[in-house]
């Protein structure tokens, strides 16, 4: 069988669905129009969306890492939970700590996999579930997106800052803390960097919405920003953000990967994943984190 042809318009439509409130019925109607029928649309959708069943790069039972679920105080009266993972063996007495912030689907297995990958790079890694105060990430991704959309921004940023404070005191951590986030999590990285001040040493945002430029002067972290060149929705904010970072004398780097879409790092999405861009961005990410966190 010939694989269905997937166009940029289809990917943009899916991005509209996942980030701008388009409902699933409208998504399928639009895909059917672009693909030439409902059967073609049904065949195309699994190639665009992330697959929960996709294999992890670092398996959840990999003996090279030690992982567990932990809880800690959130930014207000509630508690947060998340996935804490560290290398099973290290030649260092203490390690830098990295908070990994999930996409708008919540704390999925893919994000746990990313946390394990970073642990193998020599970091203590915590992937919070920002939906844990509301019962945790549900299996239904549409429900997870709706729950993420209902979160209060200020309270969620406060939870991110509280997580940084918790991580600085984790056994075996060296008190130097960074963060990496993807999509919604990339936007949270930017927001937390504005709120955390010197508590945050390094911040890596993958295709994340930019913060209000008025908040940028508060950033003390070193910033690394990755964008997909085909991601017009997010890329529209790059110029203003970069100008604000430069004016505030923030140490930063911006990389735009020309042939990459939004979510190009997510290897569970067959069509949007761009291995060349993802590998290059990952190498830049880990190099910056090692340089900043030790």
**For the segment 116-169, what is each residue's pLDDT rounded down to a tens digit?**
999 999 999 999 999 999 999 999 999 999 999 999 999 999 999 999 999 999
User: Which pLDDT does position 145 carry in this prediction?
Assistant: 95
Q: Are 172 and 274 found together in one domain?
A: yes
Q: Are 237 and 109 found together in one domain?
A: yes
Q: Are 44 and 69 found together in one domain?
A: no
Q: Determine the Cα–Cα distance for residues 219 and 26; give it in Å rounded to an integer.
A: 39
User: Which pLDDT does position 6 carry in this prediction?
Assistant: 85
More confident: 174 or 33:
174
Q: Are 30 and 175 found together in one domain?
A: no
Q: Catalytic residue among 12, 113, 159, 183, which?
A: 183
Q: Is the pLDDT of residue 41 over 90?
A: no
Q: Determine the Cα–Cα distance for residues 43 and 40; give it in Å rounded to an integer.
A: 5
Is 231 an active-site residue? yes
SS3 207: coil
Handedness of CA 99, 105, 107, 112 (dihedral sign): negative
Q: Is residue 53 part of a domain?
A: no
Q: Are 41 and 103 found together in one domain?
A: no
User: Which pLDDT does position 2 carry in this prediction?
Assistant: 62
| Total of domains in the chain | 2
Q: Is residue 33 part of a domain?
A: yes
Q: Is the pLDDT of residue 53 over 80?
A: no
Average pLDDT over residues 18-22: 80
106 is written with which tokens?
Answer: 């919540």
**Model's pTM, two decimal places?**
0.92
Q: Whole domain around residue 26: which residue ranges?
A: 8-48
What band does 44 get if pLDDT is binned at 50, 70 and 90? confident
User: Which pLDDT does position 3 carry in this prediction?
Assistant: 61
Greatest C-alpha distance within the chain: 59
Q: Are 37 and 77 found together in one domain?
A: no
Distance from the Cα of residue 187 to its chain's centroid: 8
Q: Is residue 255 part of a domain?
A: yes
157 is written with which tokens?
Answer: 């940023």
CB 250 within 8 A of CB 223: yes
Q: Are 146 and 237 found together in one domain?
A: yes
Q: Catalytic residue among 15, 194, 262, 267, which?
A: 262
Is 154 an active-site residue? no
Q: Are 34 and 142 found together in one domain?
A: no
Q: Catalytic residue among 12, 113, 231, 267, which?
A: 231
Q: Is residue 55 part of a domain?
A: no
Q: Are 257 and 203 found together in one domain?
A: yes
Is 183 an active-site residue? yes
What band does 76 get if pLDDT is binned at 50, 70 and 90? confident
10 is written with which tokens?
Answer: 């289809």
Q: What element of type H or E holds 129?
A: strand 124-129
38 is written with which tokens?
Answer: 């409902």
Q: Are 35 and 92 found together in one domain?
A: no
Q: Is the pLDDT of residue 260 over 90?
A: yes
């Amino acid at each position: 069988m010939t694989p269905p042809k997937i166009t940029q318009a289809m990917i943009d439509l899916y991005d509209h669905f996942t980030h701008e409130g388009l409902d699933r019925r409208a998504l399928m109607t639009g895909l059917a129009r672009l693909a030439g029928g409902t059967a073609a649309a049904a065949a195309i959708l699994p190639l665009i969306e992330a697959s929960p069943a996709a294999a992890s790069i670092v398996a959840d039972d990999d003996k090279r890492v030690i992982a567990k679920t932990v809880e800690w105080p959130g930014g207000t009266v509630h508690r947060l939970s998340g996935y804490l993972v560290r290398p099973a063996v290290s030649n260092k007495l203490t390690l830098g700590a990295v908070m990994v912030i999930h996409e708008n689907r919540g704390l999925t297995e893919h994000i746990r996999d990313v946390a394990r990958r970073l642990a193998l790079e020599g970091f203590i890694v915590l992937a919070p579930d920002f939906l844990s105060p509301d019962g945790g990430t549900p299996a239904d991704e549409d429900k997870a997106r709706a729950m993420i959309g209902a979160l209060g921004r200020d309270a969620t940023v406060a939870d991110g800052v509280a997580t940084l404070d918790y991580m600085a005191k984790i056994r075996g951590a060296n008190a130097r803390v960074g963060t990496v986030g993807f999509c919604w999590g990339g936007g949270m990285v930017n927001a937390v960097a504005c709120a955390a001040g010197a508590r945050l040493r390094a911040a890596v945002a993958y295709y994340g919405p930019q913060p209000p430029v008025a908040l940028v002067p508060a950033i003390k972290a070193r910033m690394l920003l990755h964008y997909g060149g085909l991601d017009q929705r997010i890329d529209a904010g790059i110029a203003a953000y970069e100008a604000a970072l430069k004016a505030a004398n923030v140490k930063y780097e911006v990389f735009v990967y020309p042939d990459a879409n939004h979510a190009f790092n997510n290897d569970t999405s067959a069509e949007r994943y761009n291995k060349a861009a993802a590998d290059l961005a990952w190498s830049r990410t880990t190099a910056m984190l090692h340089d900043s966190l030790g």
